A and B are shown apart, each in its own frame.
Chain A
Amino acid sequence: MAWIVENRREQSARTSDTPYLTDELKNHLREKYFPRYPTKRAVLMPALHLVQHTYGWIPMQAIEELAEFLEIAPAEALDTATFYEEYWLKPKGKYLIGVCRSLACEICRGQELTDHLRRKLGVEPGETTPDGRFTLIEMECLGSCGTAPVALVNEVLHEELTPEKLDRIIASLPEDPHDYKDPSVTWETEKAGH
């Protein structure tokens, strides 16, 4: 429900003395994105993705810095950032496990996966484990209904899942999430953001 607003009056946007939007990130945006769009505001969404990719989430301070950089009001940047569910405005775990909660998965016992993870990780959907390793969420249709039930672990889709299969996947995750790659992508060209 993108229209539900949170009271942020008590929140301070400033949390760090060093800027989140580093010169390196600014240069990346200037070179890769500014030439492609007629307005700076159009760069806001890719920029939010870039910040999230870099830090794992989007701090309020980064939204303020982005607004200044893109020459829009902080409120405008916040307005966009809060509308989209996939922007994390609070820290999330190293691994984001998104279980599909769509009808096709539901028919194929997808709920068991969430229940299993609830018990195993000791968190409710939307919460992060105390060690900061896992965040559990339920997601809308992941577009793989033919092989339901499915879940997305960071950027890798896992299908025809069972609680046991999930256990094996979780046990095999590398310490550093950057080492976790999709086995079907045979090339290595991913750079930060784009």
Chain B
Amino acid sequence: MTPEELQKVAIIEQESQEQYDHRIHVCMAAGCLSNRADLVKQQLEKQIAANGLERRCTVKGVGCMGLCAAGPLVSIQPKGIMYQEVKPTDAPDIIQTLDKAPIERLRCDTAMPFFKEQKKVVLENCGLIDPERVEEYIAVGGYQGLLKALTEMQPAEVIEEVTRSGLRGRGGAGFPTGLKWSTVAKAQHPDGRKFVICNADEGDPGAFMDRSVLESDPHRILEGMAIAAYAVGATQGYLYVRAEYPLAVKRLKQAIRQAERLALLGNNIFGTPFSFNVDIRLGAGAFVCGEETALIASIEGKRGQPRPRPPFPAESGLWGCPTLINNVETFANIPPILRNGGEWFAQIGTEKSKGTKVFALAGRVKNTGLIEVPMGIPLRRIIFDIGGGIPDGRKFKAVQTGGPSGGCLPERFLDMPVDYESLMQAGSIMGSGGMIVMDDTSCMVDVARYFMEFCMSESCGKCVPCRVGTAQMHDLLVKIIEKRATDSDVRLLNELCDMVQSTSLCGLGQTAPNPVLSTLRYFPEEYEALVQAGREREAAGSNGSAMHVAPQLKPNSTQPQAHVDSEVTP
């Protein structure tokens, strides 16, 4: 494909869209689909045909619009009207009123904070384009970043642009992306091979931003990877996706086929000497493969076990070659940075954390779903303005960020700005962006136990601190919850946290104690109440009297359990 042809595809697609007076977008992402958005779309199409409006109206399925709690969502462009909780039986009304005033009973208020407080960079196309058509991605400026990089810039200039943007890795650690790229670009291998890997092995409980981007805007990731490959000098890319995301895998496979057909991937892209191919690698249910060296071992066909670093993959990665590994959201930020420039990106966010961050809001919050906000926004605005607060009149208790590597933050941190450093200081991490909100019915010790159980079962077993330590910590937490623990057990738990944190081989073990440490730090009274109950029970047991025994918690420790008798929550 030549640059002129790319322009032509964009113009034809724009014109074909503009010929319609009304373009009806039906959200076909998983959330709306489970509420039968497919039937809504079918009925809308039927109604258009029945009214002979085929030339004036079109209906298309689009990716996630974000407000999953109010699905199925339908938006009418270019008027920008949004309807929520649409049923197939609403189709006649929607079609009848296209030229009139919108239907108030279905209207979704687009001026509410959920929409107004957000800033979309990564999710800019989600809910606007049909993810199954490359033409639509091209029509909204897709592949322009790659075109600019290949035809107007040297690889070093691309890296400079990314460095200028201040973008940091969105997988969780926040390593400066520009620095990583330049390390790979400088690294040499005797046979000259280099690789680019997209880490789409999103496995943190509570995180689903990568899945949504892959399902709603798959070409964006391919473009980001191609730009990275050009910058570092790679010709082969691998997309490592979880097998648990079948829809994302299908959309990606199709996107790769489309890009190859249009010669946006393959040999001599845009008539330049640059060639790049992407292949999908399916994971097989191992959380630890999100760790970069484990992911590399997995692509090589081995057990997904990490190895000590250095050497870092940037110098010696896949088959010993210099390898660039970035997360899905990091790659998703690359095309707009190339299109708009690094300085544009650096204006968003805080001094050390630039740009926006996508968060997955879940748990006890009214508006669950995906949101994208500028870095530095206070937690309170995310949870109470955008998220709409806690449902059922309950009280906010804690927010868990960063999944099993993160921590639980109590109410007093609600006004803290959300960026890499602040979260780390508070004892949690940014992580990949999962936010699970908990109300006063959740037991924090049980939350810690839940995450420890996760780490225990996902530990690869290679290093002793993680393999044995997580199991021991889990047993201690169960003992505490079952009110069998003594003060020395709590001391031992603290010591184990310290040991596992400082001696584990990879990030999984090193961060596994975080949920325990943060709950011990911010909710010590919950641990104390359980230990106290244990003491009382023991005392009662030794007098042969059961009078003061507190009501039992569900003793089945193998079941994750978040709703706990209110007597343990202060």
Contacts and interface: CB of A to CB of B under 8 A. Distances in A.
Do chains A and B stick together as partners?
A: yes
Given A45-B284, A46-B281, A187 B34 contact: no
Interface string B433-464: 01010100010000100110010111111100
A140 B287 contact: yes
For the residues of A in contact with B, the DSSP-based class is loop
A41 B286 CA distance: 19
B279 interface: yes
Interface in B492-526: none
A182 B298 CA distance: 28
Contacts of B301: 39, 41-45, 80
B34 A158 contact: yes
A48 interface: yes
**Which of the four size classes fits the interface of chain B?**
35 or more
Interface in B260-293: 277, 279, 281-288
A190 B254 CA distance: 10
B303 A83 contact: yes
B461 A145 contact: no
Interface in B10-48: 28-31, 33-35, 38
Which size class do A's interface residues fall under?
35 or more
A128 to B, nearest CB: 18
Given A80-B302, A104-B362, A145 B206 contact: yes
Contacts of A106: 450, 560-562
B396 to A, nearest CB: 14
Contacts of A36: 277, 279
Contacts of A157: 30, 34, 246-247
Contacts of A3: 459-462, 467
Contacts of A184: 28-30, 33, 38, 61, 247
B208 A84 contact: no
B68 A146 contact: yes
Contacts, number: 197
B207 A143 contact: yes
Given A144-B30, A144-B208, A144-B211, A190 B250 contact: yes
B132 A111 contact: no
Interface string A1-32: 11110000000000000000000000000000
B245 interface: yes
Contact of B369 (A4, A142, A146): A146
Nearest to B279: A36
A84 B206 contact: no
Contact of A146 (B69, B203, B438): B69
B361 interface: yes
B363 A107 contact: yes
Interface string B345-388: 00000000000000011111000111000000000000000000
Given A80-B301, A141-B203, A85 B285 contact: yes
A178 B203 CA distance: 27
A97 B143 CA distance: 39
Contacts of A174: none
Given A38-B319, A45-B282, A107-B442, A143 B247 contact: no
A45 B368 CA distance: 35
Contacts of A103: 205-206, 363, 400, 436, 447, 450-451, 560, 562
Contact of B560 (A42, A45, A111): A111
A39 B319 contact: yes
A145 B282 contact: no
A148 B437 CA distance: 13
Contacts of B305: 83
Contacts of A183: 33, 38
Given A39-B301, A141-B206, A194 B253 contact: yes
B336 interface: no
Interface string B197-212: 0000011111110110
B425 interface: no
Contacts of A108: 363
Contacts of B360: 145-146
A39 B363 CA distance: 44
B160 interface: no
A140 B363 contact: no
B363 A104 contact: yes
Given A107-B562, A146-B69, A187 B206 contact: no
Contacts of A49: 243, 282, 284
A2 B368 contact: no
Interface in B51-109: 61, 68-69, 71
A101 interface: yes
Given A1-B456, A146-B68, A85 B30 contact: no
A98 B33 CA distance: 18
B205 A104 contact: yes
A127 interface: no
B475 interface: no
A143 B284 contact: no
Contacts of B132: 186-187
A144 B373 CA distance: 20
* Residue with the highest number of chain B CB atoms closer than 10 Å, among A36, A43, A101, A159: A159
Interface in A108-124: 108, 111
Q: Which of A39, A83, A84, A157 has the most CB of B within 10 A?
A: A83
B538 interface: no
A129 interface: no
A44 B210 CA distance: 26
B300 A1 contact: no
A100 B333 CA distance: 30
B244 interface: yes
Contacts of A104: 205-206, 362-363, 436
A189 interface: yes
A145 B208 contact: yes
B304 interface: yes
A90 to B, nearest CB: 15
A135 interface: no
A160 B32 CA distance: 10
A171 interface: no
A145 B254 contact: no
A184 B257 CA distance: 18
10 contacts: A2-B460, A83-B305, A103-B206, A103-B447, A145-B436, A146-B362, A147-B71, A159-B31, A160-B34, A190-B250
Given A103-B560, A143-B244, A146-B208, 8 more contacts: A42-B300, A49-B243, A104-B206, A106-B450, A144-B211, A155-B246, A184-B38, A185-B247
Rank and list the top 5 A-B pairs by shortest CB-CB distance, nearest first. A3-B461, A145-B362, A84-B284, A86-B285, A159-B34
